[in-house]
Structure 1
Amino acid sequence: MDEAMDGDAVCQQLQDNAYDLILLDIRMPGKSGLEIMAWLKETGIDSQVIIMSGHSDYRIVRQAFKLGACDYLKKPYDVDDLIQAVGDKVLERRQSRSRATTDWSNPLKGELFRRTLDHLPELVFLLDERKCFEYLNHKVESLTGLPAEELIGQPLSRLVHEDDIAKLPLFFERAEAGEPITQEIKLKTHSGGVGHKDFEIILTSTLGVNPALAQANFSPEDPPFLGIARDITERKQTLELMEFRASHDSLTDLPNRNLFMDRLRLAVSQARRNGQKFAVLFIDLDNFKAVNDAYGHGIGDQLLQKVASGLKNCLREGDTLARYGGDEFMALLPSLDEKKDAATVARKLLTSLETPFRFAGCDLRVSIGTSIGIALYPENGDEAETLVERADMAMYAVKREKKNGFRFYS
């Protein structure tokens, strides 16, 4: 074992003698440790290098590994750790020399591994320090419509949808810290036109700054980032459909009673805070049971769908129309300036039902009217349940008097 106190002396020793292992500090007088490693690479001197440094900077450590370091000890280090690292690397070097003369299958392993990756259902990729693709398995073509060869050397952002580009800086920053990070990101697709799919991407740095990496079998040629992308488009669509069905009526696709009450409570909270007015309309079809009995539930369901479409077309974008149950609908009209504005909407709703409804496949026309009760916030109540109850009372007053009209609660 020999010792040298500065960079120039290290180079001289290496020219004069052959060493299995070099313990090299990154900072030293004369040439730095990184400069010596670059010189080793240029001259072709075959020695393993363990670097020692007080640096925890990811980029400096990565540069050392890129130049050929086989291990890393962070100062101050424990002497037992140093002895263990030296012993491991000397044994590893001897075993490597033995394998080089006996293992004829090594040249095939990389190709077999890549073929295995190509048959995975996920997209697997490696990124260099510029966040550009250095490797992609062939799954990228079936998932995005672009061949791997076209993307090599291109940045990951080339594939990311514009809506999610802003997620990338923090995504990489967290991955560089050494822990695998999972993020939902939209990737652009080019199959049958430009579109996008939803992916769950796991990104990890092949070299973090945590101490555990000192025991990793790290190759100096490994790119800094490994990513695995799983297509979750169908899963997300299924979840979104389930959430939609839980909050919407299956026949009309309108919000159901639960969603309507949630929106009404939110409207109460906002109006109370901002000093606004709004209206709740209880809409009940007249003589709907007679239509069902006369023509059957199939025609009855079609009629409810046509009525729902007509009523919805009368409302503003920010209003809510819900199917409350059976032949009952509810409308929420937020941010009303005057009581007469609610009356104007009620007249539009009544007018939308004046023309008889026709049904495909049969020579049938059905006319139906509706009774509408209106409750105003805060005039008729300051709680969601109270407003619904009083709009209901106003609606029944219309049914008792004449039907097919509207009335305010009083």
Structure 2
Amino acid sequence: MLGLGLLASLLVATNPWALLLLAPLTVAVLSILEYHVGLRLRAEEALSGSEASLAEAQRIAGLGSWDWEIDSGRQRWSDETYRMLGVAPRSFPATRDIFLNCVHAEDRRRVAVALETAVEQGTPYSLDHRVVLPDGSERIVHAQGEVLLAGDGRATRMVGTLHDVTERKALETQLAHRAFHDPLTDLPNRALFTDRLERTLARADDGGGRVAVLFLDLDGFKSVNDALGHDAGDRLLMVVAGRLRGCLRPGDTVARFGGDEFVVLLDRLTASRDARTLAERIVTTLRNPFPLGESEIAISV
């Protein structure tokens, strides 16, 4: 544009009528420039909008991304990656060492080995691990990454994501617990008891000590349900479960099979009398009256 202006000045100086000839050309050039500037501005606006949309989508999904130039060590983290670590976006440089310091101490070695193996072998990795936030709280993330190779097969770049799966893991744990525990008393159910019994018997066969199983049902429980209602019966079962827990040794198991039926697994007994002693303790404990509201209920087994 500057060259066109100098040319126009020279021509006008020698021939004033040349301005009329140059005017259409000048307008055309200006129109072309305006068009291309407009295209660039719109492209920059679209890119900015796309980046903002991507950042918002990552925030909603709890998904962060990162990019690592292996030769230089330079890394770029998305805003959500920073937020997942409990800090403001770009509040400190993105580096491998800083990230590993955010990983839970018990998981750090495993994460470091996964990264090193991926770079050395050029293979992707995928694993769950914990991160510790500045306030001391912990989150669980699913990390995965892929290695980009140069023409000679050398790893030059790695890209990956972090996905916050804390709530999902908590739900999985909760569902697994429900699958193997009685919903009223929170005691192991029949499935969990059976699994523990099989393991205990297998260990006993290998010289792991004696094993005993006690079956209990509550005498008079139906009368409580009929007289005071099922809510009172449920409260009684919960109190019974608590007392049974208090009678057992570490490693023993008490389970509810249903209704007023309970089963006790006694593990690693040194003598038969040990089972008898624990059975007598249970009977004595359950003879004590059970307070239910303003009343006391006496039951036996």
| 1:207 and 2:149 are equivalent in the alignment | yes
Residues 81-122 of structure 1, C-alpha deviations (whole Å, 9 max, x = no match)? xxxxxxxxxxxxxxxxxxx99973576677555434422121
**In the alignment, what sits opposite 1:104?**
40
What 5-or-longer segments of structure 1 have no aligned partner?
1-99, 371-410
Higher mean C-alpha displacement, 228-237 vs 125-134: 125-134
Residues 351-409 of structure 1, C-alpha deviations (whole Å, 9 max, x = no match)? 322332223xx312112111xxxxxxxxxxxxxxxxxxxxxxxxxxxxxxxxxxxxxxx
Shift of 1:311: 0.4
Indicate conservation of the 8 Å contact 1:281/1:331, yes or no: yes
Question: Quick one: which of 110, 123, 126 aligns to 2:67?
Answer: 126
Indicate conservation of the 8 Å contact 1:286/1:368, yes or no: yes
Shift of 1:169: 3.2
**In the alignment, what sits opposite 2:90?**
149
Q: TM-score, normalised by structure 1?
A: 0.57
Shift of 1:151: 3.9
Amino acid at match of 1:172: L
> For residues 132 and 315 of structure 1, what CA distance do their matches in structure 2 show?
57
What 5-or-longer segments of structure 2 have no aligned partner?
1-35
**In the alignment, what sits opposite 2:29?**
none
Return closer, same or farther for 1:158/1:113 CA change in 2, 3 Å cut-off: farther
Structure 1 counterpart SS, 2:90: helix
> For residues 228 and 177 of structure 2, what CA distance do their matches in structure 1 show?
30
Return closer, same or farther for 1:292/1:332 CA change in 2, 3 Å cut-off: same
**In the alignment, what sits opposite 2:248?**
315
What fraction of aligned residue pairs are identical, expressed as a percent?
31
Amino acid at match of 2:102: L
Q: TM-score, normalised by structure 2?
A: 0.76
**In the alignment, what sits opposite 1:139?**
80
Residues 105-163 of structure 1, C-alpha deviations (whole Å, 9 max, x = no match)? 57667755543442212111223549977222222354332123234244221221122
**In the alignment, what sits opposite 1:186?**
130
> For residues 166 and 251 of structure 1, what CA distance do their matches in structure 2 show?
41
**In the alignment, what sits opposite 1:94?**
none
Indicate conservation of the 8 Å contact 1:114/1:137, yes or no: no
**In the alignment, what sits opposite 2:217?**
284
Q: Structure 1 or 2: larger helix share?
A: 2
> For residues 351 and 137 of structure 1, what CA distance do their matches in structure 2 show?
64
Structure 1 counterpart SS, 2:287: coil
> For residues 86 and 71 of structure 2, what CA distance do their matches in structure 1 show?
24
**In the alignment, what sits opposite 1:301?**
234
Indicate conservation of the 8 Å contact 2:124/2:146, yes or no: yes
Shift of 1:239: 1.8
Structure 2 counterpart SS, 1:175: helix
Indicate conservation of the 8 Å contact 2:77/2:94, yes or no: no
How many residues in Structure 1 have an aligned counterpart in Structure 2?
258
Return closer, same or farther for 1:258/1:323 CA change in 2, 3 Å cut-off: same
Shift of 1:240: 1.8
> For residues 267 and 170 of structure 2, what CA distance do their matches in structure 1 show?
31
Structure 1 counterpart SS, 2:81: helix
| 1:195 and 2:131 are equivalent in the alignment | no
Structure 1 counterpart SS, 2:183: coil
Shift of 1:306: 0.6
Amino acid at match of 1:368: I
CA RMSD between the two structures: 3.0
Return closer, same or farther for 1:114/1:132 CA change in 2, 3 Å cut-off: farther
**In the alignment, what sits opposite 1:368?**
299
> For residues 228 and 150 of structure 2, what CA distance do their matches in structure 1 show?
72
Higher mean C-alpha displacement, 133-142 vs 240-249: 133-142
